[in-house]
Structures are given as C-alpha cells and as structure tokens.
Chain A
Amino acid sequence: MGPPKQRALLALLAVNADRVVPADVLADRLWAGAPPASAWNSLHAYVSRLRRCLEPDRKTGAAASVLISAAGGYGLMTDRLDFDVREFGALVSSGLAHLDGGRHQEAVESLAPALALWRGDPYTDVRSEEWAQPEIGRLGQLRLDAVEALAGALLELGRHPDVVALLDPFVRDHPLRERAWELLVLAHYRSGRQAAALQCLRTVRELLATELGIDPGPRLSGLETAVLRQDAGLLPAASVPEPPPYDPFAGSVRQETGRTAKGPFVGREEALRVLADAAASANGRIVLVDGEAGVGKTSLLRRFCSAAKIAVAWGVSPDHETAPPLWPWEQVLRDLVTAASLPVAGEIAAFLSGGLGAVPSYDAQGARLRFFEAVRAFLAEAGPVIVVLDDLHSADDATLRLFVHVASALPPGMLLLGSFRRHEASALTGTLSSLSRLGARRLSLEGLGTDETRRLILAVTGRDPGGERAEELRARTAGNPFFLTEVARSGEEAPQNVLDVVLHRVAGLGEPTGGLLEVAAIMGGAFEAGIVAEVTGRDVGDLLPSLDAAAAAGLIRESASGLGRYEFAHALVTDALLSRRSRLWRARTHGMVARALTRADGEREERYGVIAGHWLAAAELGAEPARMAMDYAARTARAALRRHALDDAVVSWQEALAASVLAGADPAERFELAVGLAESRYAAGRLDDGYEAVEQALELAGDDPDRAVRAADIAMAHGIWLPFRHGRDPVRLREAMTAAVRSVPEGSPAWTLALACRSVALAQTGGAARLDAATAEAVAAAERLALVSGDGARTGPDVDDGSEHRSTSAIGRPDGELLSRVLHLRLIALTGQDFAEQRADTARRLLAHPGLSPQLGVIARIHLASHLVEHGRMPQARALLDETDALLDELHNPTLTCQLAIMHTGLDLFQRRPEPFRHMERVERMLSTGDRGYFEVAMSSQLLHSLLEEDRLGDELPLVREAYERTGATGVGHALAYGLARRGEHDRARTLLRGLGLPPRDYTWSSTAMCRLHVAILLAETEIIREVHDLFLPFAGRLLVSGACTNVAGAYDGHLGEALLALGDRAGARARLESAVSLLDRSGGTYWAARARQALDKAT
C-alpha cells in the first residue's frame, strides 16, 4: 500500500468511511497540522495510486466510484469493498440484538464470525495519530463487548467448555473486565467445577485489590456467596424445559433433547397467572392441568417453565407405547442430575443405571416405599425445582403412586405440576382424590377465544384471518389450538374433525409418504427410520424425501436423541394415522416391527415392554408370534418388579398368560406364568386376586406335588395373620396340600411345607383340632432337614433357571429358610387365645434363627410383645415394641408398620393414654387399598371397644346397627345387643343374643365372648353367663387380648368375677376380682381396674 503517508491517508479515509473529507483537513491531519507546500501534489499522487489498488479495473477517464473526489475533498465509499470494519460492526450489533432477544444460537452465529474478522490490532500504521484514537478505541471496545456477548450466548447454550476456552485467555489480557470473570465463573460452576469457579473469584478479587485498590462489584460479590451456597439461581434460567417425548432409543443415558421449535403460543394469561401464583405460594404447590387432547396443556406448562428462574425437571408418559414403569420419573431424575449437578448414589444411582436388583416378594412393598423415600430425599436435595409429569392419563401405576407419595410430603421449594386428558380422568380417580386431599389445585384449560384464535392463525400462516373468519374457525374447532393449527396449515378445504384434518394433510404429502407414516405410527410416538425401512423393505435413503416432507409439514420432527430418529408432533397425529388400516394389516405390521425390534434391541430391558406390545398385537397371526409375546410379556413383568411396579407387573403376567394360550404353551410353562402372576399380586398386597391366580396355578400344576406346594406357599403370603379373606374356604389349596402330603416322601422339603400350608388352610375354616400337632411335626421335619444339610445350605435339585420369580419357591430354597418359613406358618396357623403359649414359643425360636429376615423378625417380636401383654408385663412389651418400631423405620414395610400402629393404639386405649388413635393417623397414608379393609376392621373393632368402655354403645346404636347389617359379624352383633340392653330394650337384646352363637375359636373369639358375657349379665341370662364363665376359666390370671393387642379388654379374672357375682357366688367373685385388680393395677389398665373395684365393692 505504498509509503507511510499513503497508508495513513487510506486509514484516515477509512476512519471516516463513506464521507467526503475536505482536502485541507486531510493534509492537515497527514502532516500533523503543518502541511508543506508540496502537500497538495503528494496528496493527489497518493490518491491516484490508491485508486489503482482499489479499482484496478477502472478504465482511464472513468469516474472513480470507490475513492471518490467531490466538493474539494476525497471520500472512501465502502459499499463495493470487503470492508472488515463495517462488517464487524454490523455483525456485532446484530449479535447483541439476538442476545437481548434470547436467541442465543443466532447470537453465536453473528458474534463468532465477527470476532473472526479481527486480525491483529486495527490501524496499526496510524496508532499513534491523535485523529485515529477515537476509532481505535471504539473498535476495541466493540470487540471486548462482542467477546463477552459471545461467551454469554455460549453459556446459555450450555457450551461451557467453549466459554472457558474463550474467556480464559481473555481475562488474562483484560483482567479488570468483571463481566468476563462473572461468565467464566458461571461456566465453571455449571460444568460442575465449583472449585475452579471459586479460584476465579479469588483471582479477580486480588487483581482488583492490587491494580485498583477496590473490591469487586456487587454482582461478583453476590456470585461468590451464591457459588458457596450452591444457589439454584446460578443454574440456567430455563434449564431443560424441553418435554422430551418417550425416547425409546436412548439407552441408560438420555440424550439432551434439542430446542426444536414447537409452534406458536398465544393467550393463556390467566392460566399462567394461576401457575405463577402456585409457584409463589407456600401451600398449594401442586397443580394439575386438565383439558381435551390438543388444547395446549403441554404448551402451557412448557411456556411457564421456560420463564422459570429455577431448575425444571420434566417427565412424560408416552401415549402410544409401553415405556418401562416409572419412566416419567426416570426422566425427571435425569433432568435433575443434569440441571442441578446433583451427586447420585445408592438406590437412585442403581435405578438410573438400570441396576435395580430383584426384590423378594416379602419385601416388595417395603422396598417400593424405601425407593419412593429415596426419590423424595433426592428431590428435596435438589432445592427449588419445578417437577412436571405430563400426560398422566397414560402413566403406569407406579408413576402415579410415586406422584402421590411425593405430593404427600412435598419437599420445600418444589412445585409439582401434572397434566392429563380431562375425558380420561376416571382412570385416575384414586390418584386425583388423593391429590385433592393433599391440596392440589385443578387448572382446566378450555379452547381459545376468538381473539386468541385470530392471533394463532396469524402466527401460523403469517396472515390475519380477520375477526369473522377467526370466530368461524374457533366455533368449528372449539378453539383447540392443535386442531386450529392443523386447519390453518391445511387450507380452506379442511375436513370437519381433527383426525380427518390430519389425514387430509397426510394425503397431501402423497401416497409413499402416507404409507410410510402409517407404518411409523405403528411404532408409537417415536420411531427409527432404520426400522421403518426394514419393515417396508426399502433403503433409509429412499425414505428421506418422505420424511423431510412430513417434517416440513410439521407432522413429525427429528428427534434430538440421535440421527435417523423421529417423533410425531402430537399424539393426535399418531391416532389419526392408526385409524384407517385393517386389523390384519395392523397385526402384520406389528409383527414385522416386533421382529425388527427383537433383532435390534431384544436384550435391552427398557425395550421389553415395547417389544412385548408389538408381539401381543401380532399374536393372532400364529403360534410363533404368540410365543414371542408370551416370552416378552413375562420379561416385561420381571423387569417391572425390579422397578417396584408391582401392579404393572400384574398386567404383564396376565398378558403373558393370555398369549400362552395362543402359543399352545404346555401346562408347565403356563404354571410358571401363573406363579409369577400370583406372586406379583400378593406382593402388591392384593390377597384376594392373588389367591385366584394361586388356584389357577394349582390347576396347571396337575399331578405335580412340588409345583402345587410352590403355588400354595405363595398363598401363605408374608403377613401376621391368616392370608385369606374372612369367610373364604381355600378348598382347592387344602385339597391339593392333602394330596401332596400323601404323595411326596414324608420328611422331604415338599412334604414339610405342604403340611404347614395345609395347616394354615385348615386354620382358616376353624379346623383347630390337629393344628398344633401338625405344625409341630412340620417344624420338626424342617429342623431335621436343616440339621442334615447344615443350616443355610442348599439342598435338593436346583430347578431355578435364573428367573427371580422362583426365589421364594418352596423347593430348592435353603433348608434354613424352609425352617423359618415353617415356623412362620405355624405362627399364622395357631390363632386365638388357645395357642398363646405355642405362639410365644415359636416366636422365640424364630428370633433365635440365624439369618432371619428382618420382616420375620418384626413378626416374631409382635407375637412376643402380645404374649407379654397377656401376662401383664407392660414395660417389657412396650420396650419390645419400641425396638420393633426402630426396625420398621428402616424397613418401611407398610403392612407391618400399620399392624404395629394398631398395637400401639390398643395398648394406649387399655392404659388410657391420650389420643390413642394418633398412631393410625400417622401410618394411614402408607395403606394401600389392599390393606385398608383389614385395618379398617381392626380400627372399627377398637372403636366399638372404646364405646363399650365409655358406656356409649347405647347412644350410638344406629352406628352399631349399620355396622352389623353391613358386616354380619358376630362380634358386632354382640356389641349391638349390649347397646340395646343398656338402653333398656331388653326383649330385643335378648332375642338378638339368643340368635347369636359364639364365633369359632379364632382371633375374634375372646372379645366376642367377653361382650356376650356382659350382655348376658345385663339381661340375667344365667345359662349364658355360666357358659362363658366356664369357657374363660382356663385363662384365669391373664389379660384378655384379642388379635395382636387390637383390644386389651381387661383381665379374665375380672370377667370371671363379674360372672360369679351375677350368679350369686360372692366369695368366688371376691377372689377373682381381687386378683384382677392386682393384675390390672400392675399393668395400668385404669378403666378395667376401676370396674373390677366397683364389682368388688358389690361383692363385699
């Protein structure tokens, strides 16, 4: 560019680009205020030479168009030049505008090229010239701003390494740029390097102190505190608000879904306000959004979350395919791990890595509750967070349970949001009523109004439809935004209903695309091009034009989870595509998809449910697909059990059994499925349903006694009491066990267990005579087996094929476990007051058993505590219960925890402690519906007893009568007779009493007999008094305990004394009553002690 003055001239013109600068000004500047006489000539020469460089093609004599001369001056016109300075300025200013508008990707796309234009310092030739200073300064400042803006945009895009790479050298060169430091700190922090973030803060603090002698500004100071506190506000404002569709492709690590455009959003100010209110309030931080399909539930939630200043975790239940149970929660947890950089450990880590192990069925409910607790603890640790569970109407049972569980004690700072289709709400009745009890708000979305419709159409098409047309469209679509958008895209001739509109748009794409989309829809809400290609017998490459066309039409979009993966834009698109093909076509296509997926993903546990679904839909095509359906449904069931989804496992076992019929599976195979079903139902606490599956299994077991014993063992369950509904006679089980005892070698494991199971079945129907001897025999046999094998060693053939549902089977279990099982069954079989000592003895033996499961340990302690109470040793009983409480705090077993609450209540009632029912309130939320029936019986029995003690049965007659009519229970009948007698209605009381007999000698016998005695005393029915007196005599010296301390109804001696008093034997009565008073005083039974004293007064 020639000599220095010539270069300076160019610089001078560039600094004043696109303006004409007078020649004298130019000369003045070039020669520093003292131009020599030759200056004009020199200037002219420089201009000529520069023109030759800048416009080499200019013909001689033609007017210059770049370095022009006009009005006694020269000017550099840059519009036909590659003028970096101008381009730099334009790129930076558009980059800054994008950044302001939150368009971070676009900002990066402007700012990065802008900075790439920066080659060395600008105007180096003239850097010491005064006239160049302002421009040099402006460009330098612009560049610094651009670097920081770029870093800011990269940070928002989560590109933390890029931010660090950009700013690390930058802050060294410009150590006083606080904004750059701030961004660098955030980048370190958000990529999990808290220490590096803090180091940066220390460095800048020192620099500022030494260089300028000042402290960092308020932003940096605040940042330091926030980093130390791990403040959630440091996280990106809209972290992971993307609701990813069910992504069947992702393996153990879900890909972050991209920020794909999701269409326009209009209106909903009121709904957004409700959500914001909920977020701001202390209570009511659970909101459920409902509405029709397509009304914009997801869009609303997405919109709300994108503006949130705290972390967002999002899970969605796929509408069209079988995701693994708890899939939505898995998404939520993954989001939190990512967004909040939380460390994961223990069960959560195992869950997220697919490493949950098999759970023994006796621990299934406890394990589920422990896992739920772990999730809640993890959520609490995440700090303020929004958790969204989208499309709950399609959720699996375990997901809904966990939703309620989390809602029941919402971690502080958490906002819990759910959505569901309004017209599928009846599927969620239980969940919704639990949530409404917990204070959840309902937010019902209706269609858009006319004005919003108009804005939506404008946003979709870019054309204002006008008010009238908007109203017409609103009326036609009920303002449903999905429907409106589809109609708007479809044009004038759109059909009338939403699915037809979608089909119309599909048809517009031509046949190959339509056919391809139909196949894709068979795969559900998301699909893989490779599988579609395989099923349609084409190359992926051939499909691309169709896929692109469908994507351009907004019917599908590329999935962020990987190349070649797509998802449908809305569940309604899938619905529409699936609506028009024949059953045969669908079955065949499902079959082809099943085959392709089995080949591709057949061993991936998270895909079992999807694969099973396709095989099931193809099962009618023949035995082979039916067998595959059976196999994969069973795999799905086992995987569900590992994920604590007990009821979901039940459904899969049922599907496996249905498929097994079509597959022509033999009874032995079907037996295994029936056993799986039975075990899952029992594990879910559904004893009645479970027993039905056991009967089915017994039938499939045929003549095989080993199988029959395995099935029977499941029906014994893992509780404290007889495992059958009151009044049910398990006749098939009893007969099968009788046959088994006869047909297998005496003393073998199968024989031993059969004997014990038969005893439990007999106990159910009151066959008490031989139970003690039979169960003692079974225990002796189990002890011999344990002795022979060495305790805990495995004996017998190991028939296990690796499937964990056999892990608690009778045969092949270690003999040590067999012994503890048989002891447990003896405890169950020996019910009622007749076997109190045998139970205590059995419980002690259980506790002495090495390697006893903690659950059985609790059961044994409950029996022992009950026995201590019978003997009036209250402090020891209470101490044992406290110990048991501590054990249960670890186990979370709902059935046992509730049982213990009943005991505490019973003892508190007896000892007249305040608020005895508080124990039940504490555990009530643990109760599943399966357990509820039993505990309500126990509670109503406690209620009747307290009414009797308070002498209020007469006042509460309607309540008692209603209970009696409903249950027909003998015990309640006696309470009613007592109430009638107290109200002076002696005739009716007498008629009722004479009509009622005593129940069998089970756990209800003693308290019913007690009540019978006192009605008889009120009515002077001497025969009955004498009868009960004689029945009670063997129990003299003890407290009257029914159940496991459900009720402690005084001392037998007290009742005997009152009976003798009524019969006129005052001396005998005195002796009994004195001993009663002594026992009751010792055990703190205030009411019954006072009552015995009163009777004693009468007897003296």
Chain B
Amino acid sequence: MITQEQLSGFMLMHAAFRTEFGRLAEACPRPRDAEHMDLLEEQLALVLEMLHAHHRHEDETLWRRLTGREPAAHEAMAELEAEHLALDPLMRAASDRTTPLPERAVVLARLHEVVNDHLDHEEQAAVPLMLRHLTPEDLESDKRTAMNDFGRRRVPVIFGWLASCANDEQVAATLADLPPVARLMFRLFWWPAYRRRFAALYGAGVPLANSVLAG
C-alpha cells in the first residue's frame, strides 16, 4: 500500500510523455536551421528512448508484479501491454530519420494523441492497483531501474525535461525526493542549462508547466 504522493515519480513521467510529443509536433514542421533540426532530433530520440524504457519496465516488471498480487488484473494488464505493442509502429515511424523531420510532424501529432489516450487508460486501470499493491521497496527498486535507464550522460537533460513538464506539486515532490547533491546540481546547473535548451528547442514563448521554475 502506497500513497498517491509516493507515486509522483511515475505520474511525472506520464506528464512528461503527455506534453513533449505535442511540443515536438508543433516545432518540427519549421526548424530554424540545421542546428535546431539536430537539437529537435536529439530531443525526439531522447523522449522515444524514455518511452521505450518506460514501457519495457511496465511490461517486464510492473504488470507482472501487479497480476502476481491480484490475478484478476491479468486481463487489464494484457490490454495495456497490447496498447504498448500498438504504439510501436508509430514510435518507429517517429524515429525514422530517412523521413525528413518536418514530414514526421504528423506522426508526432498522432503519437501525442495516442500516447495521451493510452496514459488515460493506464492511469484509470493500473494506478489504483499500484496504489493498492505496491510497496515502498518496489518503488525504490523502480527508481533505481529508472536511473539506470537514464544513464549518466543523460541525467541532467532528463531531469530538466521532466521539470519542464511538471506542475508545481510535482516539481516540489520530485525535488524533495532527490538526494541533496542531485537537488543542488539540478538547481544550480541542470535546470539553467535545460532552460536554455528549452528556449532553443521551442522558443522563449512556449510556457513551462509550472510557476516554481518559470521565474
């Protein structure tokens, strides 16, 4: 049994997936120049890799854990897993660099819709089970797995990305959950660098999802 608050990391990941494909779909049709195009490609690759890792973790670990503890959930979990499979062709199309980035914008817009629908379903079907059946130890282990998936080189950018998609409570909860060194690294270096990256990606006009970090 865990609380909604303890699930904030998972929910934050969802918030980030819900937001970023939309942003990319907006920006990709008109890259300013080659450098901007490269940056958008990198961001897209990052988000797709994260989505892949997220799905893999759910399919290989999380759903099995839940059905293990509540066998009746089997069907619902199988449905979610099937939805992951259904997303694969879209994800492949989105990452296919033989198609110029601007032409992939429609794929990204579609991905944005489908991912949001899927996450609606997941949050309605799986989150109550997670709250009921997961333990704090499970969450700790999942967090480690997630950090491994992030990889050393990408951690600063990934945290910046998550923060750019988080609402006020999520930012506060995530920061509170980080070890102090990481929290300081985030405040002093990762976030300022990501803000520059964010402006370079989407322009200064695109709003962040929160007020804590916007100022």
Chain A interface residues toward B at CB < 8 A: 393-394, 421, 423-430, 433, 496-500, 575, 578-583, 587, 616-617, 619-620, 629, 654-655, 657-659, 661-662, 688-689, 692, 932, 966
A580 close to B137 (CB less than 8 A): yes
A426 close to B46 (CB less than 8 A): yes
B69 close to chain A: CB less than 8 A: no
B144 close to chain A: CB less than 8 A: yes
Q: Which B residues between 93 and 119 are near A, CB-CB below 8 angstroms?
A: none
A579 close to B145 (CB less than 8 A): yes
Q: Which A residue sits closest to B148, measured CB to CB? A: A575
A619 close to B60 (CB less than 8 A): no
What's the minimum C-beta distance from B52 to chain A, rounded to whole angstroms? 6
Central interface residue in A579, A659, A966, by most chain B CB within 10 Å: A579
Query: A423-B49, A429-B42 given as contacts; is B179 within 8 A of A658 (CB)?
Result: no
List 9 A-B residue pairs with CB atoms under 8 Å apart, sorted by A's residue number.
A393-B151, A394-B151, A424-B49, A424-B153, A496-B64, A497-B61, A616-B181, A654-B185, A658-B184
Chain B interface residues toward A at CB < 8 A: 32-33, 35, 38, 41-42, 45-46, 49, 52-53, 60-61, 64, 137, 140-141, 144-145, 148-149, 151-154, 179-181, 184-185, 188-189, 192-193, 196
What's the minimum C-beta distance from A318 to chain B, rounded to whole angstroms? 10
Q: Which A residue sits closest to B48, measured CB to CB? A: A426
Compute the total of residue contacts between A and B using a CB distance below 8 Å.
93
B184 close to A425 (CB less than 8 A): no
Query: A496-B60, A587-B179 given as contacts; is B53 within 8 A of A423 (CB)?
Result: yes
Query: A423-B52, A426-B154, A580-B137 given as contacts; is B35 within 8 A of A932 (CB)?
Result: yes
A662 close to B181 (CB less than 8 A): yes
What's the minimum C-beta distance from B150 to chain A, rounded to whole angstroms? 9
B35 close to A662 (CB less than 8 A): no
Q: Which B residue sits closest to A654, measured CB to CB? A: B189
A655 / chain B contacts, CB cutoff of 8 Å: 181, 185
B179 / chain A contacts, CB cutoff of 8 Å: 583, 587, 617, 619-620
A751–B151 Cα distance when bound, in Å, is 47
A497 close to B60 (CB less than 8 A): yes
A583 / chain B contacts, CB cutoff of 8 Å: 140, 179
B64 / chain A contacts, CB cutoff of 8 Å: 496-497
What's the minimum C-beta distance from B45 to chain A, rounded to whole angstroms? 4
B35 / chain A contacts, CB cutoff of 8 Å: 932
A426–B144 Cα distance when bound, in Å, is 20
B49 close to A425 (CB less than 8 A): yes
What's the minimum C-beta distance from B55 to chain A, rounded to whole angstroms? 11
B153 close to A427 (CB less than 8 A): yes
B46 / chain A contacts, CB cutoff of 8 Å: 426
A426 close to B140 (CB less than 8 A): no
A662 / chain B contacts, CB cutoff of 8 Å: 180-181, 184
A47–B49 Cα distance when bound, in Å, is 86
A427 close to B181 (CB less than 8 A): no
A661 / chain B contacts, CB cutoff of 8 Å: 184
Question: Which of these, B140, B141, B180, contacts A619 with CB under 8 Å?
Answer: B180
B42 / chain A contacts, CB cutoff of 8 Å: 426, 429-430
B61 close to A429 (CB less than 8 A): no
A76–B121 Cα distance when bound, in Å, is 87
A580 / chain B contacts, CB cutoff of 8 Å: 137, 140-141, 144
A662–B180 Cα distance when bound, in Å, is 8
B141 / chain A contacts, CB cutoff of 8 Å: 579-580
Q: Which A residue sits closest to B46, measured CB to CB? A: A426
Q: 6 closest pairs, A vs B, by CB?
A: A658-B184, A427-B153, A426-B46, A497-B60, A429-B42, A426-B45
A429 close to B41 (CB less than 8 A): yes
B61 / chain A contacts, CB cutoff of 8 Å: 496-497, 500
What's the minimum C-beta distance from B187 to chain A, rounded to whole angstroms? 9
B53 / chain A contacts, CB cutoff of 8 Å: 423
Q: Which B residue sits closest to A659, measured CB to CB? A: B181
Central interface residue in B145, B153, B180, B188, by most chain A CB within 10 Å: B153
What's the minimum C-beta distance from B46 to chain A, rounded to whole angstroms? 4
B188 close to A620 (CB less than 8 A): no
A966–B192 Cα distance when bound, in Å, is 23
A620 close to B180 (CB less than 8 A): yes
B60 / chain A contacts, CB cutoff of 8 Å: 496-498
Query: A433-B38, A658-B184 given as contacts; is B140 within 8 A of A582 (CB)?
Result: yes
B181 close to A429 (CB less than 8 A): no
What's the minimum C-beta distance from B175 to chain A, rounded to whole angstroms? 14
What's the minimum C-beta distance from B154 to chain A, rounded to whole angstroms? 5
Query: A424-B153, A424-B154, A579-B141 given as contacts; is B45 within 8 A of A429 (CB)?
Result: yes
B185 / chain A contacts, CB cutoff of 8 Å: 654-655, 658
Question: Which of these, B140, B145, B193, contacts A499 with CB under 8 Å?
Answer: B145
Q: Which B residue sits closest to A496, measured CB to CB? A: B64
B181 close to A619 (CB less than 8 A): yes
A424 / chain B contacts, CB cutoff of 8 Å: 49, 151, 153-154
A498 / chain B contacts, CB cutoff of 8 Å: 60
A499–B140 Cα distance when bound, in Å, is 14
A496–B140 Cα distance when bound, in Å, is 19
A428 / chain B contacts, CB cutoff of 8 Å: 153
A692 / chain B contacts, CB cutoff of 8 Å: 192
A581 / chain B contacts, CB cutoff of 8 Å: 140
What's the minimum C-beta distance from B138 to chain A, rounded to whole angstroms? 10
Contacts A580-B144, A629-B181 known; list 19 others, CB within 8 Å. A394-B153, A423-B52, A424-B49, A425-B45, A575-B148, A578-B148, A579-B144, A582-B137, A616-B181, A619-B179, A619-B181, A620-B179, A620-B181, A654-B189, A655-B185, A657-B188, A658-B185, A658-B188, A692-B192
What's the minimum C-beta distance from B97 to chain A, rounded to whole angstroms? 9
A430 / chain B contacts, CB cutoff of 8 Å: 38, 42
A429–B197 Cα distance when bound, in Å, is 15
Q: Which A residue sits closest to B41, measured CB to CB? A: A429
B149 / chain A contacts, CB cutoff of 8 Å: 423
Central interface residue in A427, A497, A582, A661, by most chain B CB within 10 Å: A427
Q: Which B residue sits closest to A425, measured CB to CB? A: B45
Question: Which of these, B33, B49, B188, contacts A426 with CB under 8 Å?
Answer: B49
A498–B151 Cα distance when bound, in Å, is 18
A524–B205 Cα distance when bound, in Å, is 43
A433–B45 Cα distance when bound, in Å, is 13
A689 close to B193 (CB less than 8 A): yes
What's the minimum C-beta distance from B197 to chain A, rounded to whole angstroms? 12
B192 / chain A contacts, CB cutoff of 8 Å: 692
A580–B144 Cα distance when bound, in Å, is 8
A497–B185 Cα distance when bound, in Å, is 33
B184 / chain A contacts, CB cutoff of 8 Å: 657-659, 661-662
A429 close to B38 (CB less than 8 A): yes
A393–B151 Cα distance when bound, in Å, is 8
What's the minimum C-beta distance from B204 to chain A, rounded to whole angstroms? 13
What's the minimum C-beta distance from A156 to chain B, rounded to whole angstroms? 39
A579–B141 Cα distance when bound, in Å, is 5
